[in-house]
Structure 1
Amino acid sequence: MHKYRLMINPYAIEKWVNDMACQGWHLKKFIWIRFTFERGEPGRYIYRHDELERFGSHYEEDYLEFLQSSGIEQVDRSGNFVFFRKVAQEGPFELYTDKKTKIGNLSKKMTLLFSLILLNLFIGIIGLMGDFSEQTTDWVGFTLNTLNLVVVVLFSLPLYKLMRVRNRLKRELNVFSD
Structure 2
Amino acid sequence: MKKFRQWWSWQDQEHGAWLQSMAAQGWHLRAVNWLDIYTFERGAPAEMAYRWDLHVNNFEPQYRRLLEDAGWEYVAAHGGWHCWRQPIVNRRVPEIFSDPADRLRRYRRLLIPCLALVVAQLLLLGQWADWGRAPLALSVLNWVSLGVGAMAAYSALQLGRRIAALKAA
TM-score scaled by structure 1? 0.72
Who is 1:131 aligned against? 131
Write the letter of the residue equivalent to 1:168. Answer: A
Match of 1:158 among 135, 140, 155: 155
Answer whether contact 2:24 2:46 (CA < 8 A) is retained.
yes
1:29 and 2:26 aligned: no
- TM-superposed CA distance for 1:48, in Å, is 2.6
Is the CA contact 1:48–1:84 (under 8 Å) kept in the aligned structure 2? yes
For residues 10-49 of structure 1, the C-alpha deviation after alignment (integer angstroms, 9 at most, x for no partner) is: 2232123224334543211235663523253585232231
> Once superposed, what is the RMSD of the aligned Cα atoms?
3.1
Rounded to whole Å, the distance in 2 between the matches of 1:122 and 1:52 is 27
Secondary structure at 1:5 match in 2: coil
Cα distance in 2, alignment partners of residues 164 and 40 from structure 1: 37
Q: Does 74-83 or 92-101 show the bigger shift?
A: 74-83
Residues 1-178 of structure 1 mapped to structure 2, 5 A cutoff: 1-9=2-10, 10-30=12-32, 34-40=36-42, 43-49=45-51, 51=53, 54-56=58-60, 61-67=65-71, 73-77=73-77, 79=80, 81-86=82-87, 91-95=91-95, 97=97, 98-127=99-128, 129-132=129-132, 134=133, 137-172=134-169
Contact conserved, 1:75 with 1:85, CA < 8 A, in 2? Answer: no
After superposition, the C-alpha distances for 1:98-129 in whole angstroms (9 at most, x for unaligned) are 222211111111110111122112212421x2
What is the aligned residue count? 163
Identity of aligned residues (%): 16
Q: Distance in 1 between matches of 2:159 and 2:137?
A: 33
Structure 1 unaligned regions, length at least 5: 173-178
What residue in structure 2 maps to residue 176 of structure 1? none
* Contact 1:22 1:43 (8 Å CA) reproduced: yes
